[in-house]
Structure 1
Amino acid sequence: MRPRVPGSRSRILYKKSTFTRHAYNRSDRPGLERAVSLYDHPVHRVGNGDEPRGHKVSLHRPGGVIDLAYWDAPFIAWLERHGYPVEYCTDLDLHEDPGLLASYDLLLSVGHDEYWSAAMRTHAERFVADGGNIAFLSANTCWWRVHPTDGNTAFVSDTDHHVGDEYPHLPATDQWWVPAPDGVGNPENTLTGVSFRNGGMWPATEWPGDRPRVGYTVQHADHWIYEGTGLRDGSDGGTADRLGAGTPLIGYECDGAAFSCDADGIARATGEDGTPKSFLILGIHVLEPVHEDFHHFKWGHWNGPAREPTISSPRAATMGLHTADGGGTVFTAGTTDWPVVCGHEQDPAVGRVTRNLLDRLRHRSPRPGRARPDR
């Protein structure tokens, strides 16, 4: 997927979430070792000096996952219709090449981007620290760490997924936010601004299912992200508008930040979960009803994973952005289905916000005196 000359066609790099794709890949073919998925009778290995413990899956398997058709295809078509050329890479490209992002100004994460290697994380963080921009039009993002192995033809991840009716062991040591030694100890929201542990998942037999279609309550309507949308935030005495109202914008999985509301009712990130202090909440939707036992899904509810018991704010899908010390801007949509609603043009304001985002972040500002796009 990588271009022969990186950056020759576009300064926007679209990353395909191939690790997540294969984590869910249940495909099979006679004569080919299946190596299962992480969700369907995964093979758990104790680990040794050459390979970490956890579930192992092969990257050398045919398709069988609808991610390309559901998230990627409509959004790529939208990009082409609206004149945004992009270049492409896979998770493995970002994992293997520490210099890959040097040729770009904006990295796109689209749809469902759950599984990240430590090298991917390091390269993305260095990119932002050096003034590069990232747009996470995704959710459940960077939830599990993976360890590429076998010459990068497979990966291992120590997750909490069951094998039959049993769990091989707990804790699952490849959860990014969980403190070491039980987890990685590097919360994903230090990069993305949000975390799945503050959001949730709405189960359905098919997408989008029966989940609520309420959209994001708009905050800071004077921000450049809302330019040209006509949306209001209620500061004029009226009712705040909702971005994506009437569409399945929120879900099926969504991420959030710990927050509290000020005297004017504006939600502001507290930072107690690791979210950067500069993170500005631009849209929020408090999830309800919520079911707190993530290992036993409850239909018709947002199912929330475990999180720190000290966090008391409601689970909420959260859209916002922050600016790193090095000047790079990170935007997060906080929901997996942003590229679906945008790609199928189900809400004009979602499309306009996406265009504002791409127009602003596809060019780095000069490092000296770089303006802060978070306000």
Structure 2
Amino acid sequence: MAKKYKFRGKPRSELIGYAAPMVAHPGDTVSFMVSTEADKYDAAIVRLIHGDNNPKGPGFKSEKVNDFQWQLTGRHQETFPGSFIFIKDGVNGIVSDGFTVQAWIRATNPKQGNYQGIVAQNSDTVGFGLYVDPDGGIALRLTHDNTFSEVSTNHPIQEKQWYFIACTYNAISGEAMVIQRQTGRWPNADADCEIFGSVPLGSFESINAPITIAAGGLQTSPAIAPKHCFNGKIDSPRLFSRPLTRKEIEHLHSDGSPRTIPGLIGAWDFSKSSASSTEIFDSSGNGLTGTVINFPMRGLVGHNWTGRVFSRKDAPDQYGSIHFHDDDLEDTGWDADFEWNIPSGLKSGIYAAHLLSDNEEDFVPFIISNKKAQANIAFLVPTMTYLAYANERAIMFPGVDFTVITNVPIIVDPYDRLLREHTSLGGSIYDVHSDGSGICYSTARRPIVNMRPNHRHWVHGCPRKLPFDLYLVDWLEEKDFEYDVITDHDLHHQGEDLLRQYDVILTGSHPEYWTSSMLDGIDGYMNHGGRLMYLGGNGFYWVTAIDPKRDYIMEVRRGYAGSRAWASHVGELELASSGEVGGIWRHLGRPPNALVGVGFSAQGWDLEAPGYKRLPESFDPKVDFIFSGVGDDEMIGNFGLVMSGAAGDELDRVDFELGTPAQTMRLATSQGLHSSYYLMTHEDQLISLPHNDGTNNENVRSDMVYFETQEGGAVFSVGSINWLGSLSHNNYQNNVSTITENVLRKFTM
């Protein structure tokens, strides 16, 4: 982290937790997992209303849920990241006379300074395995009575290159062989290596222990926790009960079937099971089925990919690799410290367990939504976006100076400092793994530090995501609207039926991540006269999937376009969770403009974001209801708690070529009002040009629009993340609040 960044407040001591499930309903039981250095702490349930403690606003607001309070004993809980395959049955005595291990690997950090297991069977003191050694060579390691014997090529493999690797061991003679061969069109002349060695007799003892792939065994802990995790791709690992001959090894190197070779114990074919499955198929016929732990990246091109197919569906045998990471995480696996059964009839909303020790506090958020409508207004909480940004740690990127993107002094929040000290809690899909590859999965089964009501984002020192969306909750409460809270996850599971219970749907500030089921649901709602208030920016943007059996895990494949933190590997656009092509919805024929009239146009952060100037169509009698109480010459939203303006952060604009409905009325715009810190989106730039910022490009703007649809439906969009941050200005007496209220009351008539 650059020294020029400042820190807000004092460092946090450990008092952190998460709730499961993240989205619950009355009658459900919510479990709370907590880790703390404190000897004891108190816990209470609160409904969150307003998180921003900016003195210019209404301040922090929460509402305690009566009669639910606990006094608890504190404890520290460990997290064990790292993805691998666990084969419980193992082999007992079968390899006592020797063995062969073979696989294809593409290591992404071969010289990381520690052993990385490829295939291993180890207990605490006995076992064997094939590894990448600390210097990047391929090594056979044998263990007996906690004494290690090793035969290594001592020849570093190159990162991100496919290799055929194998080792053989004869327990009777003590002879061993280790092979590494680079594959590909132009292998380096010195890439291959073949080493013979002798191991003292008695250095090996066959045991009954689990087999691990992509790990060198298991830690001594209550959990199934890996050690010596591998970073990179593995394809088609095999295990034989004897040392193979030269001819047999050449047969495997030529992609010959392992089943024709005597002594086959296990042949794990990653292409045979669904890319979303936790099971790994053993094609040996011996039933040594593996279980995937901690969600590695699946459905990827293997060592034999020709570059002529780009879908796993067309050639599954060419998609036989899995990319493992030493920091992958599905679930921290923490034990529950307390539980709460949600009372029937409780108001839907954004809730939290408020944890309080002698010197620290935390708010552990969760959302309560109703299965049946209790009001005619619904606030659709963007839980997919919350997961996408969960534990975003871009500020920690080494060598990146973020001061160039803003004139706002960068101040790092105490929660982000805590994340730097607890890297095992994982990053967001805006981050990269320890090996530099992009993170494509995000899980809710961990503490999410930037999903706290009092979190401030480093880019502008203000709320973002959940704490930002509390501006809308607070405003709805102040204006005495009856409303329900529903979530992206509810919409994904229930679709159009969920939305059709309501007269109007309100989005949050940043509804960026949408599954196809969610889009189908809102399309159906709009086609039947639904009314939508899109109160944010950069919405309806990324193709998203959630795991079919574990909806606390979301997946995104970035593709090759759009504003992204990393790019997908060629041939790996399909999401493992759904089989859909990833990227942005605009490139798959579902642009946000066609749904809400506007689509992502620019992003930027500076000390003063502008407001909107009214356009001629805003004076059409058809939209008088929107501007009732607003002066003809008023600037709209040139104020607010976030960068002092309503048209800021990420912006959307009208574009009829991208599907903005022809009847759309462009009511107001921030065109020409932005600084040079606001830049045009990548996907709108066909060639590199110098004029792409807010001072010289007309497309760097936010547009406010309104249009009507069939059966009495209508859409009102503001095209800016910052809009909600202006609602409470001047004690809620301002034109952003007025316009929002005018539209909402009209849409509920």
Fold equivalence (TM over 0.5): yes
Please say if 1:251 is aligned against 2:642.
no
Structure 2 length as normaliser, TM-score? 0.39
Secondary structure, in 3 states, of the residue corresponding to 2:648?
coil
Matched, 1:91 2:488: yes
Look up the equivalent residue of 2:509 and give its one-letter code. Answer: G
The residue matched to 1:145 in structure 2 has which SS? strand
Q: Within the alignment, does 1:105 sit opposite 2:503 as a pair? A: yes
Give the match for residue 279 of structure 1.
664
CA 1:146/1:218 → structure 2, altered by over 3 Å: closer, same or farther? Answer: same
**Residues 32-69 of structure 1: CA deviation (Å, up to 9, x unaligned):** 9645211121599x9xxxxxx98111132322224456
Is the 8 Å Cα contact of residues 441 and 553 (structure 2) preserved in structure 1? yes
Shift in CA distance, 122/347, structure 1 to aligned 2, threshold 3 Å? same
Q: Which amino acid aligns with 1:350?
A: V
When the two chains are superposed, the root-mean-square deviation of aligned CA atoms in Å is 3.2
CA drift of 1:30 comes to 9.4
**How far apart are residue 214 of structure 1 and its match?**
3.9
**Paired residues of 2:598 and 2:654 also in contact (CA < 8 A):** yes
1:7 corresponds, among 361, 373, 379, to 373
Q: What is the deviation of 1:162?
A: 4.0
Q: Which runs of 5 or more structure 2 residues have no equivalent in the other structure?
A: 1-366, 393-418, 456-463, 574-581, 688-696
Q: Determine the structure 2 residue equivalent to 1:175.
A: 584
Report whether the alignment pairs 1:200 with 2:565: no
Q: How does 1:52-131 map to 2 (within 5 A)?
A: 55-65=440-450, 66=455, 67=464, 70-98=467-495, 99-131=497-529
Partner Cα separation in structure 2 for residue 171 and residue 302 of structure 1: 29
**Shift of residue 5 of structure 1?**
5.2
Structure-2 residue corresponding to 1:329: 714
Distance 1:226 1:131, change over 3 A: closer
Deviation, 1:128, is 1.0
Q: How does 1:142-153 map to 2 (within 5 A)?
A: 142-149=540-547, 150-153=549-552
Instruction: Give the structure with higher Rg (CA).
Output: 2
Tell me by how many angstroms 1:114 deviates: 0.8
Where relative contact order (Cα < 8 A, 6+ residues apart) is larger, the structure is 1
Q: Please state which structure has a larger fraction of its residues in strand.
A: 2
2:610·2:674 contact (CA, 8 Å) conserved in 1? no
Q: Distance in 2 between matches of 1:43 and 1:168?
A: 17
2:391 and 2:426 in contact (8 A); partners too: no
Offset, 1:328 = 1.3
Match of 1:191 among 591, 595, 601: 595
Pair 1:307 & 2:698 matched: no
Residue identity in the other structure for 1:201: Q
Q: 1:24 to 1:257 in 2, by over 3 A?
A: same
> Is the CA contact 2:468–2:509 (under 8 Å) kept in the aligned structure 1?
yes
**1:243 partner SS:** coil
Q: What is the rounded CA distance, in whole Å, between the counterparts of 1:251 and 1:140 in structure 2? A: 11
Q: Secondary structure at the match of 1:123?
A: helix
The answer (yes or no) to whether the contact 1:288–1:301 under 8 Å persists in 2 is no
- Distance (whole Å) between structure 2 residues aligned to residue 42 and residue 303 of structure 1: 28
The residue type equivalent to 1:187 in the other structure is P
1:224 aligns with 2:590: no
The offset of 1:87, in angstroms, is 0.5
Deviations 1:300-335 (A, max 9, x none): 33343322759x963321001112234311110111
Q: Which residue of 2 aligns with 1:242?
A: 635
Query: Amino acid of the residue matched to residue 72 of structure 1?
Result: D
Contact 1:213 1:249 in 2 (8 A): yes
- What is aligned with 1:369? none
Match of 2:390 among 25, 41, 50: 25
Give a deviation string over 1:199-248, Cα, whole Å, max 9, x none. 21113xxxxx424424333442342344432421xxxxxxx432123441
Aligned-partner Cα distance in 2 for 1:124–1:100? 10
Query: How many Å separate the matches in 2 of 1:158 and 1:4?
Result: 31
Alpha-carbon distance in 2 for matches of 1:272, 1:313: 16
DSSP 3-state at the match of 1:306: helix
Aligned residues: 314
Q: Return the alpha-carbon distance in structure 1 between the equivalents of residues 572 and 624 of structure 2.
A: 43
Which residue does the alignment assign to 2:693? none
Change beyond 3 A, Cα 1:228–1:323: closer
Query: Are the aligned partners of 1:256 and 1:316 in contact in 2 as well (CA < 8 Å)?
Result: yes
Give the aligned partner of residue 215 of structure 1.
612
Q: Deviations 1:279-318 (Å, cap 9, x if unpaired)?
A: 111111215667xxxxxxxx733343322759x9633210
Equivalent residue letter for 1:244 = G
Alpha-carbon spacing, 1:42–1:289, altered in 2? closer, same or farther (3 Å): farther
Q: Report the residue type matching 1:243 in the other structure.
A: I
Instruction: Tell me the SS of whatever aligns to 1:334.
Output: coil
Query: In 2, distance between residues paired with 1:38 and 1:177?
Result: 20
Check the 8 A contact 2:625/2:743 in 1, yes or no: yes
Pick which of 25-34 and 134-143 moved more: 25-34
Q: What letter is aligned with 1:152?
A: D
Conservation of the 8 A alpha-carbon contact between 1:42 and 1:56: no
Q: Which residue of 1 aligns with 2:257?
A: none
Q: Which amino acid aligns with 2:536?
A: S
**Partners of 2:447 and 2:665 in 1: CA distance:** 41
Change (3 A) 1:167 1:174: closer
Judge conservation of contact 1:115–1:146 (CA < 8 Å) in 2: yes
Contact 2:379 2:483 in 1 (8 A): yes
Which TM-score applies when normalising by structure 1? Answer: 0.74
Deviations 1:105-133 (A, max 9, x none): 11110111111111111101111111111
Does 2:724 match 1:343?
A: no
- Of 103-112 and 223-232, the range deviating more from structure 2: 223-232
Structure 1 residues 242 and 225, CA gap change in structure 2 (3 angstroms):
farther
The reply on whether 1:158 has 2:557 as its aligned counterpart is yes
The answer for the alignment partner of 2:112 in structure 1 is: none
Query: CA contact under 8 A between 2:597 and 2:660: conserved in structure 1?
Result: yes
One-letter identity of the residue aligned with 1:79: L
Q: Is the 8 A contact 2:609 2:674 kept in 1?
A: no
Distance change >3 Å, CA 200–CA 338, structure 1 → 2: same
- Aligned residue type for 2:583: D
Give the distance between the partners of 2:725 and 2:748, measured in 1 at CA. Answer: 21
